[in-house]
Amino acid sequence: MKMVSRWMFKSGEESGQALVEFMFVGFILLFLLFGMIDFCRAISMRQVLINLSREGANEAARGFGDTTDATISNAISAVIAGENPLNISSNGQIIISAVLNSNGTFRITNQVTKGKLTQLSKIGILNATGTGAAGSGVTMPFLVGAQGTIPQSNQTTYVAEVYYNFKPVTSLGSILVGGLRGFSVTNQFYDVAYF
């Protein structure tokens, strides 16, 4: 009888130990799972933004519209129509600019923006003279080399910039956005494409 009660008592201790071990391992696994959910969502959103910026610049370069402003507005409408699963109108912004190479001087001739965010274009801002931001000109990574300058003289390049605010769905994602020991995920994504 004594042997049976000792065996049952030891068995109870071992199952309690297993429960404590499972709790630690389970917590780590849940931590990793929730982190993966937001990390995968961030990667997916980033890929959608890359596609949206390319599509916006491509649509603007193809030129569906009577004027440059109409062409850019139509391109923005096309991008917003294909924005699923994102919502540019409430969490993002798209800026499409027309940049002209006027005999070696790059200037923004048209610029249209749409969305809730109020970010400035990273290539320059259209002002009354159409020369870009005052005193700074247009900052773009144009190719200059053996083939010449892109765009060539008197040609226009369309630039689509897309901003989007990332909102994590798990509390771990909020911690990562806020920063955890030097590691953080930015809460605003940006992509740019040139056509």
Backbone angles phi, psi at 148, to 5 degrees: 105, -165
Of the candidates 142, 149, 90, which has an alpha carbon nearest to the alpha carbon of residue 114? 90
Query: What is the reported pLDDT for 48?
Result: 93
Q: Which residue has the tokens 């005052």?
A: 134
Extract the tokens encoding 17. Answer: 């130990």
Contact 109, 129 (CB under 8 A): no
Residue 2 CB partners (closer than 8 Å, separation 6+) = none
Query: What is the reported pLDDT for 35?
Result: 82
Of the candidates 98, 95, 69, 97, which has an alpha carbon nearest to the alpha carbon of residue 156? 98
Q: What is the CA radius of gyration of the chain?
A: 27
pLDDT in tens, the chain (195 residues): 555 555 555 555 566 788 888 899 998 898 888 888 888 888 899 999 999 999 999 999 998 888 988 999 999 999 898 888 888 989 999 999 998 887 777 888 889 999 999 999 888 887 655 545 433 456 656 555 555 566 777 888 899 999 999 888 877 666 655 554 444 556 889 999 988
Segment holding 161, helix H or strand E: strand 156-165
Contact 160, 193 (CB under 8 A): yes
pTM of the model: 0.77
Q: How far apart are the C-alpha atoms of 168 and 83, rounded to whole Å?
A: 18
Q: How far apart are the C-alpha atoms of 118 and 132, rounded to whole Å?
A: 17
Q: Where are the domains of the chain?
A: 31-194
DSSP-derived secondary structure for 97-142:
EEEEEETTEEEEEEEEEEES--PPPSS----TTSSSBTTTB-----
